[in-house]
Structure 1
Amino acid sequence: MGMTYLFLILAVFSVVVKSQLKPQVSMVLTFKQVYSGDTIILSCDNSIGKVKWFFNKVEDQNQAKTWSIRAVSAKNSGSYQCENNGQKSDNFNITVQEYLPPATLLLKSGEPVININGSVVLELLVEEDESLKGWCCWVYKAGRVGRITLKKSLTTENHKVLTFQPSKLKDNVAIYWCSDENNLRSTPLTIKTSDRVVRMMILPGPALLGEKLSLRCVVSGTDRISHTIFYKDKQTIKDGSSSSHVINNVTESDQGIYSCQATFTRSDKGVPNTVNSTQQELIVSAPPMKAVVSESAGLSCSCSSCPNGAFYHWYYKQHNPQWLPKGISESYTGFMPAGSYACRAVWKNGRSALSNIHHLTDDVDAQETHVLLITIGLIVLGVMLVIGAIVMYRKRRTREEAIYQDMPLMTVKSQDGGDGGYEELHKKHGTKREGEYDTLNTTPAQAAGGEKTEGATESCALLAQVIYFFLKVNIIMN
């Protein structure tokens, strides 16, 4: 009984002490720098009960001990205060950088909204001139920050990509990010859970003004969705058979609370079910500073608002959904295969957003290839014609020389007894000169011009093969 009273006295004493202490604002996610698109969570320490929050001395509607602000931008820079029991905290100043952190944490496999006890696969990427040496990853869930255990062999100087799977998520929301020994970090990534079979899918980051955005209504375990209704702030915005809703140009009016309703079956002959999803908030934010790709003697990359001394990194993708590094330089010249090209400015503690995308179409690439093939074909054709003419000429010369050699003019004595006369060519009927035509050794076909026909046929056959080859290549390129 005495111990019970002792614990009660200590609890009352703790409450009294806290009530006397001055409230203090702290950041739960201990980010040394706050970047555009981050989620920040503020806590009013030493507070009991209801709390008042102030931003730039203007009171906010939030009255909880913690204040979560998603997808921050430059407009969220300023001073924050909390008030409890008539006492105000000191100012807590936050400056939001208008660019992105130096590394990227993205969703490799899974969805931004998963089932309870589900999991995702995350991927950490650093720029091609950096490494993952000294990096580690963190998670915030259930009000606490915990470190994710990673294999040290995966975070070395030789690694630029780290793929890992966090433990199963039982909480409503979790925020993941990674950092290194020098307090450089990645973009944070928010994953939510839902206990419903129908889930509203919105990208974990903010929707950027002027960009394209796709919303999806997903049913666990099946894609047999016959009808979908999308809602914004409980008002119908789309009703039809498509399970996706595309916003081509995001504006501030698109910010709000979204949900969907799906009608689906589990099999071809199954009974249709209609289920509503949970609600998801869409935050619209101004884009961070952005690089620009321009076309002039190749492609060039620039960023007027980026710090001096920034390096320009190029990226390329064709059939794969992920951007691949393509070198570091202000301009990109040389042979460029068909695909999409973009760039960004990179410096020690930040990066610009990805630039506008330059598309090099297959038609342009194919046209250049066709011109090259035609040029090569004409050259080869010309060479083959010359070779064919030479072969035919030499065969004709050989045939003529053989005829003259096989019919020699025989010297005879003239009738007046002098030397140097010639034997008469016209012989009497029935007379035969031995060996007169033996050295020709020709068949009837050859005697009728067979060698000339054979040479021409071989040249034509070779020419036909060359033409067929280039026609086939042209068909493949198309």
Structure 2
Amino acid sequence: MDMRSMLILAVLLALIREDKGQKPTVSLRPKFPQVYIGDDVTLICNRKGGSKPTTWFIDDKQQSHQDYSMFLTAVTPKNNGVYKCVQDKLMSDPLILTVLELEPHAQLSPSVGGAVMIKGEGRNLVLQAEDDLKNWTCSVLRGVSRFGLGVNVDEQMKRAVIFAELKEAERATFWCQKKNFSRSNTVTLKMTEHVVMLVPPAVPALQGESVDLRCVVWGGSKLEKAVFYKDNTKIINSPEGTYTIVNATQDDNGKYSCRATYRFSHTSAGAALKEGDSDAQELKVIGGPAAAIISGSTKSLQCSCPRCPDNCMSCHWYYTLFNDPHSRRRLPENDQSITAEEEGLYSCRFDCGKGLSRFSDSYSYKAQPAEFGGLLYILLGVAALIILMGVIVWMLKRRKCGGSNVQVTGRGIPCFWSWHRRSEDTPCQRASRHH
């Protein structure tokens, strides 16, 4: 064996020995400094030499999951714990996952649509934050690789738009952040190659709220009917293609799918009926952070948060146009009471330091007809008072003329003109003296 071959062999042996002694590492993707309730995150167990058969432990309890990556959807404090993994009989150091029961400082949401897209499709995501969006960046996690995205900022509307696409990934998680501190929630989009799609919301379903599951047929076909299934069990027929869970609870968790009957009537009036099944999509209902409560009477609004932590002291107010849910802007007031000035939707929430409470329900303020009516009544009352005073003055003047409506003097002059001549005797007075 020549010197070159011996050198290569020595290097390979050193690498093998190094690889065998290298412990695996559990890492969090995306690398968030804070994990908020409702986030989608991925834990990766990896060591030098690539992925291996993996055993996972949470709080020292072995898990059935064996892939080197673990995707956690809509995390809650129930996901808190110490995560470890084992590869080649080597155990990693622990990673402690702590989920805050708060919302992040910015919101990311689809402009239209839900969590499922057809292969090759794209969608706009809208970012809303309380400060200048120029310093915000947005990213996507496809698999275990992170990519930066272009951000189109609308300074006037105080929002930004990113274009979300999956490329070749089956699933991708999108988020935006500012200098590794303030960030938005995560939005996970999933790819399907089926013509029929079961589309859940792109943001976590919250307990007690209404959740719409839609059965959609790609390509502009006419939906005749849809049948919805939960965990492969039929639950409802829907001619409209929508299944609404009115008051969502954790009993509604599960995998949902639909079977659609449809026809491509836009291509031919006599197009034949077709049927197709969707992929199964997971629905996870979570409790969510504490929500602020808004109350009011006409223009006077109050905000409270009985379930918020004690450190939630500052109140934030927001105004949204009636016809544009993405136009929300923060108002300058920080008190728990404000007066509505413009017609629109008002909401509030509390600042808790590392995050915020959930938004309150929106309060719809319109200029009340009763307010205009009240002003009208006041104006009519003032006018009536002026008229009454005029009548009283006229009656007093009439009494000075002797009590009759019109007295004719000897010269034929009506005596109600007499008050115009106060500096001298009136015709009435002269006539009475003659009599």
Fold-level similarity (TM above 0.5): yes
Aligned to 1:160: 158
Give the SS at the match of 1:100: coil
In the alignment, the residues of structure 2 paired with residue 383 and residue 15 of structure 1 have an alpha-carbon distance, to the nearest angstrom, of 105
- Is it true that 1:67 corresponds to 2:65 in the alignment? no
Which residue, 243, 246, 260 being the options, matches 2:244? 246
Aligned to 1:346: 351
Q: CA deviation at 1:233?
A: 0.4
Aligned to 1:173: 171
Q: CA deviation at 1:260?
A: 0.8
Q: Quick check: 1:51–1:64 contact (8 Å CA) kept in 2? A: yes
* Aligned partner letter, 2:286: S
In the alignment, the residues of structure 2 paired with residue 326 and residue 185 of structure 1 have an alpha-carbon distance, to the nearest angstrom, of 17
Aligned to 2:302: 300
Aligned to 2:42: 41
- Is it true that 1:279 corresponds to 2:302 in the alignment? no
In the alignment, the residues of structure 1 paired with residue 373 and residue 167 of structure 2 have an alpha-carbon distance, to the nearest angstrom, of 54
**1:184-208 CA distances to partner (integer Å, 9 max, x unpaired)?**
2111111111111111111122211
Q: Quick check: 1:111–1:120 contact (8 Å CA) kept in 2? A: no
Mapping of residues 213-362 of structure 1, within 5 Å: 213-222=211-220, 224-267=222-265, 268-295=269-296, 298-303=300-305, 304-305=308-309, 307-322=311-326, 324-325=328-329, 327=331, 328-335=333-340, 340-346=345-351, 349-358=354-363
Q: CA deviation at 1:341?
A: 3.4
In the alignment, the residues of structure 1 paired with residue 5 and residue 41 of structure 2 have an alpha-carbon distance, to the nearest angstrom, of 40
Report which stretch shifted further, 225-234 or 314-323: 314-323
Give the SS at the match of 1:133: helix
* Aligned partner letter, 2:355: G
Q: Quick check: 1:110–1:121 contact (8 Å CA) kept in 2? A: no
In the alignment, the residues of structure 2 paired with residue 217 and residue 4 of structure 1 have an alpha-carbon distance, to the nearest angstrom, of 63
In the alignment, the residues of structure 1 paired with residue 221 and residue 33 of structure 2 have an alpha-carbon distance, to the nearest angstrom, of 43
Aligned to 2:56: 53
Give the SS at the match of 2:78: helix
Q: CA deviation at 1:382?
A: 7.4
* Aligned partner letter, 2:315: F
In the alignment, the residues of structure 1 paired with residue 294 and residue 35 of structure 2 have an alpha-carbon distance, to the nearest angstrom, of 27
- Is it true that 1:32 corresponds to 2:33 in the alignment? yes
In the alignment, the residues of structure 1 paired with residue 6 and residue 205 of structure 2 have an alpha-carbon distance, to the nearest angstrom, of 55
Q: Percent identity?
A: 27
Aligned to 1:137: 138
Give the SS at the match of 1:165: strand
Q: CA deviation at 1:334?
A: 3.4
Q: CA deviation at 1:178?
A: 0.8
In the alignment, the residues of structure 2 paired with residue 81 and residue 314 of structure 1 have an alpha-carbon distance, to the nearest angstrom, of 42
Q: CA deviation at 1:269?
A: 2.9
**1:109-155 CA distances to partner (integer Å, 9 max, x unpaired)?**
4442111111111111111xx2123211111114210111346xx49
In the alignment, the residues of structure 2 paired with residue 373 and residue 67 of structure 1 have an alpha-carbon distance, to the nearest angstrom, of 67
In the alignment, the residues of structure 1 paired with residue 334 and residue 378 of structure 2 have an alpha-carbon distance, to the nearest angstrom, of 33
Decide which structure has the larger Cα Rg and report it: 1
In the alignment, the residues of structure 2 paired with residue 300 and residue 253 of structure 1 have an alpha-carbon distance, to the nearest angstrom, of 34
With structure 2 as the length reference, what TM-score do the two structures score? 0.78
**1:411-430 CA distances to partner (integer Å, 9 max, x unpaired)?**
xxxxxxxxxxxxxxxxxxxx
Between 1 and 2, higher relative CO (CA 8 Å, sep ≥ 6) is seen in 2
Which residue, 100, 108, 123 being the options, matches 2:103? 100
Q: Quick check: 1:23–1:84 contact (8 Å CA) kept in 2? A: yes
In the alignment, the residues of structure 1 paired with residue 372 and residue 93 of structure 2 have an alpha-carbon distance, to the nearest angstrom, of 68
Give the SS at the match of 1:26: strand
Q: CA deviation at 1:282?
A: 0.7
Residues 11 and 37 (structure 1), Cα distance of their counterparts in 2 relative to 1, 3 Å cut: farther
Q: Which has the higher helix share?
A: 1
Q: How many residues align?
A: 391
With structure 1 as the length reference, what TM-score do the two structures score? 0.71
**1:297-341 CA distances to partner (integer Å, 9 max, x unpaired)?**
932112342525423223445344446336233344435677653
Q: CA deviation at 1:388?
A: 12
In the alignment, the residues of structure 2 paired with residue 292 and residue 4 of structure 1 have an alpha-carbon distance, to the nearest angstrom, of 75
**1:11-42 CA distances to partner (integer Å, 9 max, x unpaired)?**
89756643431121111211111111111111
Residues 23 and 232 (structure 1), Cα distance of their counterparts in 2 relative to 1, 3 Å cut: same
* Aligned partner letter, 2:183: R
Q: Output the aligned Cα RMSD.
A: 3.8
Residues 173 and 167 (structure 1), Cα distance of their counterparts in 2 relative to 1, 3 Å cut: closer
Structure 1 unpaired stretches of 5+: 391-396, 398-402, 406-478
In the alignment, the residues of structure 2 paired with residue 86 and residue 335 of structure 1 have an alpha-carbon distance, to the nearest angstrom, of 64
Aligned to 1:460: none
Structure 2 unpaired stretches of 5+: 394-405, 407-411, 415-435
**1:55-91 CA distances to partner (integer Å, 9 max, x unpaired)?**
1111221100001101011111121111122222121
Residues 243 and 50 (structure 1), Cα distance of their counterparts in 2 relative to 1, 3 Å cut: same
In the alignment, the residues of structure 1 paired with residue 137 and residue 101 of structure 2 have an alpha-carbon distance, to the nearest angstrom, of 25
Report which stretch shifted further, 92-101 or 38-47: 38-47
Mapping of residues 77-88 of structure 1, within 5 Å: 77-88=80-91
Which residue, 183, 188, 193 being the options, matches 2:181? 183
Q: Quick check: 2:126–2:159 contact (8 Å CA) kept in 1? A: yes
